[in-house]
Amino acid sequence: MASEGSERRQRARPALSLRPPQPLPTPPADPAALSTADLETRMLRLETALERMSHGVCFFDGQQRLILANQRYAELYDLAPESIRPGMMLREVIDLRFQAGSFPEMTPEEYWVWRKEVATRNEPSESVVEMRNGRTIVIKHQPMPDGGWVATHEDITEQQRSAARIAHMAHHDALTGLANRVLFRQALEDACMPGAAEAGPALLCIDLDRFKHVNDTLGHLHGDLLLRAVAGRLQSLAVEGDTIARLGGDEFAIIRRRSGASDAADLARSIIDALGQCFELDGNRANIGASVGIALASGDGPGPDALLHDADVALYQAKAAGRGSYRFFEAETNLRMQVRHSLEHDLHRALDEGALELHYQPLVAVPDRQILGFEALLRWRHPERGMIMPQTFIPLAEAAGLIVPIGDWAIRTACAELASLPGRPKLSVNVSPLQLTARFPASVAAALKAAGLEPARLELEITETAMLRETEATLTVLHGLRNLGVGIAMDDFGTGFSSLSALKRFPFTRVKIDQVFVRNLGEVPESASLLRAIVELCKVLRMATTTEGIETEEQFAAVAASGSTEAQGYLFGRPMPIRQATLLLERDDLRPTGRKL
């Protein structure tokens, strides 16, 4: 094993430069051949040139005696100018420097041996020496014909610091000082190298909860303060060897090089707890949270791309589970994600290629069962998976940003198809809360006009979720639809957050009572009483009612007894293509009652 002293010498003695140092001023080869005046003139010029140089310069003869040194040399090594005198031996100069504290990580003896070896080799050389006082000096050695040498000493401390700052900026996030994506990637590749860690690395991907709320309410300046504070708390949880990175926005990651499931879970809980504590931001308080996805790898496990993908999948699951959660990657979860992504891709094509279609379920009057109209229900005819129901692909459409174009298509198509049916049946269409934007009333009006359908024949169904989203904006959109003459129905009443105040505040014309109240009719007396109470409430509020999910004659009799004005369910017909809906009207000679909706 190399000694500590030899290691220090190696640090102070880098490889020789491939290019020779620039020529330096040299003393006259034969001073005795010159007159005294010429010699004095030349020496004066030499001294003037040396003193004007930004580098320290010193000359030694073949016996290692100092011929001359400029003032800059003394300044570089914190020496008094008068202490450097011609005729001094190299060892004396070295001792002066060590006494002044201007020396590298070497003993005086080690430094003396090194510089003597450089002189003995009688070859040009260049060395970078890091001093204990923080300076970095480049020493360029140029041998002379008589065995002496001239050396220049350049202080490159600021250049080194500038280079270090540039290198740091290239690998670190400017806002938080954490590793950026470039350094994160390098660290992840190192951690995933076979045998890099016996236990294998753990990758934790972190996403902040409610960060957008802080940006929107307090402003981006406070958002930046929050990100710095988050970085500080994450750094307080790190152990030696961890890499903490900001991947962008409010996304962070931690690489722990040696970790098992238990250690990774403890770290995830610590992160969630630390980031769940209140933040003080320049006099403002902010409460956020965090979701964490964890991927583990053995020493010869998946590569960096696979590990990052696994952690992202786990993070998605953690966010889906609710705020303040962490999840480990699971292969089954990944398979479901792949299926989901595949369906999202196919859904984009389905809209363009006409693979979506509408089926219609009858809406009948109570108690005479006359057909009042139809509810339009989306279907997706997939070339490989067959018919896909809306409860499967509507959430995909909402997540993929496709629900608005799909919803617009559904309303246009339904209006056009129902306009041609005999008897002027009414049309009911489901609407996602994401469709309720400022442009939506104009889009509905255009669909009605293109189809030639009276607005009173169209009813739009919204779920209770819409009442929880930006209430004032939603109210404005719904009133805009009512001004068109379109009906508004609350769908699936009784399954969520319905309240009397919501029924009074929103411009509903109808309430659709969820099938949960129908299933136990005839068996549980309270179900019939509850159904009657809902119907009576709607009558007081002057709203029509439709009871869903009727499959038996007994259920229909109970619904009729409750006073509900309209019914829907498999007892009257399953959702069917428009051709069958037309035949149903014609074959049974059933016509809408013509009553006002």
Question: What is the per-residue pLDDT for 200?
Answer: 75
Residue spans in the chain of domains classed CATH 3.30.70.270: 173-329
Instruction: Output the pLDDT for position 549.
Output: 92
Q: Is 289 left (phi over 0), alpha (psi -120 to 50) or beta?
A: beta
Residue 484, pLDDT > 90, answer yes
- pLDDT score recorded for residue 548: 93
pLDDT at residue number 321: 84
Cα separation, 429 vs 417, in Å, equals: 13
pTM of the shown model: 0.53
Q: State how far the Cα of 550 lies from the Cα of 365, in Å rounded to an integer.
A: 13
pLDDT at 595: 38
pLDDT of amino acid 492: 78
pLDDT digits 0-9 by tens, 415-427: 999 998 888 899 9
Task: Grade residue 466 by pLDDT with cuts at 50, 70 and 90.
Answer: low
Question: In what order do the strands lie in the sheet containing 251-256?
Answer: 243-248, 251-256, 202-209, 289-296, 326-328
The answer to whether 204 and 253 are in contact (CB under 8 A) is yes
Structure tokens at 512: 């659709």
In this prediction, residue 468 carries a pLDDT of 61
| pLDDT on residue 501 | 67
Dist CA 102 CA 104 (whole Å): 7
Please, which pLDDT band fits residue 461 given cuts at 50, 70 and 90? very high
pLDDT of residue 20: 41
CA angle (62 as vertex; 58, 66 as ends), nearest 5: 30
pLDDT of 294 higher than 90: yes
Domain 346-587 sits in CATH at 3.20.20.450
> Which pLDDT does position 400 carry in this prediction?
81
> At residue 28, does pLDDT exceed 80?
no
Closest by alpha carbon to 154, among 21, 56, 24, 53? 56
| CATH topology classification for 4-161 | Beta-Lactamase (3.30.450)
Q: Would you state the structure tokens that stand for residue 506, as one six-digit string?
A: 């929103």
Predicted local confidence at residue 101, as pLDDT:
85
- In the chain, which segments carry CATH 3.30.450.20? 4-161
- The residue with tokens 């411009």 is 507
Q: Is the pLDDT of residue 222 over 50?
A: yes
According to the per-residue pLDDT averaged within each range, which of 122-131, 267-276, 312-321 is highest? 267-276
Q: What's the whole-number average pLDDT of the chain?
A: 84
| Distance from the Cα of residue 51 to its chain's centroid | 58
Measured CA distances, 379 to 253, 363, 551 (Å): 41, 19, 22
| pLDDT > 90? residue 360 | yes
Amino acid at 434: L
Kindly report the number of other CB atoms within 10 A of residue 445's CB atom: 17
Report the percent of the chain where pLDDT is more than 90: 46
Return the higher-pLDDT residue of 592 and 98: 98
Backbone angles phi, psi at 107, to 5 degrees: -85, 160
| Torsion-angle region of 158 (φ positive above 0: left; ψ -120 to 50: alpha; else: beta) | alpha
**pLDDT digits over 524-553, tens only?**
677 888 888 889 989 988 999 999 999 999
Whole-number pLDDT of residue 323: 82
The pLDDT of residue 17 is 34
User: Domain 173-329 belongs to what topology?
Assistant: Alpha-Beta Plaits (3.30.70)
Report whether pLDDT(405) > 60: yes
pLDDT in tens, 557-573: 989 999 999 999 999 99
The string of pLDDT tens digits covering residues 116-171 is: 888 888 899 999 999 888 889 999 999 998 889 999 999 998 888 888 888 888 88
**Confidence label for 46 from pLDDT (cuts 50, 70 and 90):** low
The mean per-residue pLDDT over the stretch 256-272 comes to 91
Q: How far apart are CA 556 and CA 528, in angstroms?
A: 12
- Residue 248 class from Cβ within 10 Å (0-12 exposed, 13-18 middle, 19+ buried)? exposed
Mean pLDDT to the nearest integer, 475-503: 82
Rg of the chain over all Cα atoms, to the nearest angstrom = 41
Q: How far apart are CA 237 and CA 541, in angstroms?
A: 58
Beta-bridged to residue 152, according to DSSP, are 57, 140
DSSP 542: T
| Residue range(s) occupied by CATH 3.20.20.450 in the chain | 346-587
| Joined tokens for residue 393 | 């692909």
Structure tokens at 336: 């479901």
Q: How far apart are CA 493 and CA 564, in angstroms?
A: 14
β-pairing verdict for 510-513 and 202-209 = unpaired
* Rounded Cα distance, 253 and 308, in Å: 10
Q: Which helix (H) or strand (E) holds 374?
A: strand 371-382
- Give the pLDDT confidence score for residue 237 in this predicted structure: 95
Which run of H or of E encompasses 501? helix 500-505
pLDDT score of 116: 86
- Residue scoring higher pLDDT (555 or 501): 555
Which is more confident, 146 or 25? 146
- Tally the residues of the chain: 597
The residues, ordered by sequence, that sit 6+ positions from 573 with a Cβ below 8 Å of its Cβ are 361, 362, 584
Is 582 a residue whose pLDDT tops 80? yes
